[in-house]
Structure 1
Amino acid sequence: MFLRDGRWRILLMIGVVVLMNTFVAGAAERDRASWTVTCDGFRSNGGGFVLTRDNTGIGREELVIYATDGTGKIIFGPVAESFIIGGGLYITDGVSFRWTTAPTANPLTVYVVSSAGNGLPQQPVYSVQGTCDNFPAFLTPLPFPPIQPPSPSVAINQSSPLVANPQNIGRDYEGYLIVNTFRANLRSGDGVRYTIVARVNGGTELIVLGVNEARTWWFVEVDETRGWINGDLVLVRGNLNNVPILSPEEAQGEILPPRFFLWITTPLRATPSERGATICQLPGNLEYVILGRTGDSSWYLVQAVCGDVLVEGWFKADAGAIRNLGRLPIPVIP
């Protein structure tokens, strides 16, 4: 048991976890957990897991850790313990665990699973592989990781983070994707109408979490960042026939709001008129969220920050360009 074995040195952190409502509450969510597999056992590099589902019926989630070698033989565990929902299981960086049975073949794989119970099925949480030079190899691909919500959207006028996976990470799985363009966006849903969460460079190997029903967009993970990528921008490697298919509801993300791209520094007016009072001067080469328009679309009401104050004001249509990939209606303001 984790808590009864001094080797685990576990830090429990109690907090509140909020999941997006487009996903059913899944198994414990990885929070920077990283382990290294060696010939003698495995070692924590820090991080942990946040507990998110009650598979015990008493407000706790039971996790099981075990390991196998390439022949399928159990070489560690299984060991199990339950933790309070909303809490965290964190293993100190540098803590190591030795195999309880000597392995005889590659690869050596450690699994963390959330147990079946309370009407919930068993669900994978995390897995990691390693090899030993003096062992023969038997191919045992890692299971596809559990589905979690997309990562947070990038705020307006902020640069999206450029994320990357370790080289050759996809080859640990039955199938994976390779980015087949110079650079691509990861989005919060399966279409260009959804917000951007990150960017990836060409050649990056992507861990596949799911696919939409049309199999045109893939839900992927890159360095713990999750998002959707257009299938036209990637190459498929291996077998992805068994990847979970996500429903239209699960594939929905945050829709990009209509935005006004301002060309140059321009006064923000209190009314839709050249004679309207100037609220402040706003810098160009930036986007501003559109709230409405005049009936002839000659002026647009936008949201902006003047100094440190959030305000609403008007731009003349010819002062910039309208961006509305989400194709949302822009209301007329009387």
Structure 2
Amino acid sequence: MSFKIICTGDVMLGENVHHFKRGIVSRFDGKYPSLISENVREQLSTADMLLMNFEASLAKDNQLKKMTIDRAVYVAPVQSLELLKSIKSQVVVSVANNHFGQHGTASAKESIKILESNGILVTGKNNLPVEIEKNGFRASIYGVSLVKDNHFEGSYFKSSYSDLIADLKLSEKSANEVRIISIHWGEEYFTSENEKQRKLAGELSAAGFDYIIGHHPHVIQPFSKIGDSSVIYSHGNFIFDQNFSGLTQKGLVSSISIPGGKTELFISQQRRFRVTGLKQVSPEQLEKFCKSAYHPKKPVMMRIRMKLELLLKFYELNWPIIQTFTLRMFKK
């Protein structure tokens, strides 16, 4: 008997400030399942469990349409969950990230309630895992963010590189238990992990974690083995409206088979926000890709490209976007 787990990159089914009224919510109203192609849906549906990093809060469709730009960004309509429900796997989402919590505790709590009422399991609310038992195995899935969050109000599990092991308060690991952690860490737009990530990955491995599933940089980072533990430092974006760069439209999808721990890696590709396909890569090919894409000035370069996308698509801009960025310029 086996247990198959698939993990994807970041999933953000709302719109960021650059794409307000011109992004995913506007273009996929009433047709969210079409955000992934049928062949990708079929591949994801082969998993017993699908783990995603959920980078938005939720609101009822009619409420979202009335929200101003400052309240509506990184908020997905409830109807967007039809996409996740169209995948024939048990979906688990981690909400331990800055964008899920950016609209406050009340919004986060309501979003968790909506997710769970739609059959989606939620981890990252606190330091306790979601547990799934299947074919004689027990998967314990933890979620945590280590990223600075100026809006943090306690709506998800947040820790630090130095305190995480203590904050988890781990119990003794059972013989049939598989421990997985979805971890929000690293530095945005770097295709290489940093020393703090490597050090903590070693500590998590020593603490009994079998799979360390990284998020936050919005670009792919390498795969590594530490003892018997598998580490993917960043899965990049799976569905996210960061269409200003080819790098931010690629993500990593990992497929884990238990027992044995065989891990297969696939690069996902977004086109016009849709995930159109998965291409299998080896760990060596992934490493080569990450090295070729690395540049020490990459975060600066990416933020310039972000603004260029606005200029090139000026004909799509609406007054709330123009007003927001005009006010930001004067504040500087």
Work out whether the TM-score is over 0.5: no
| TM-score, normalised via structure 2 length | 0.26
TM-score (norm 1): 0.26
Higher helix share: 2
Between 1 and 2, higher relative CO (CA 8 Å, sep ≥ 6) is seen in: 2
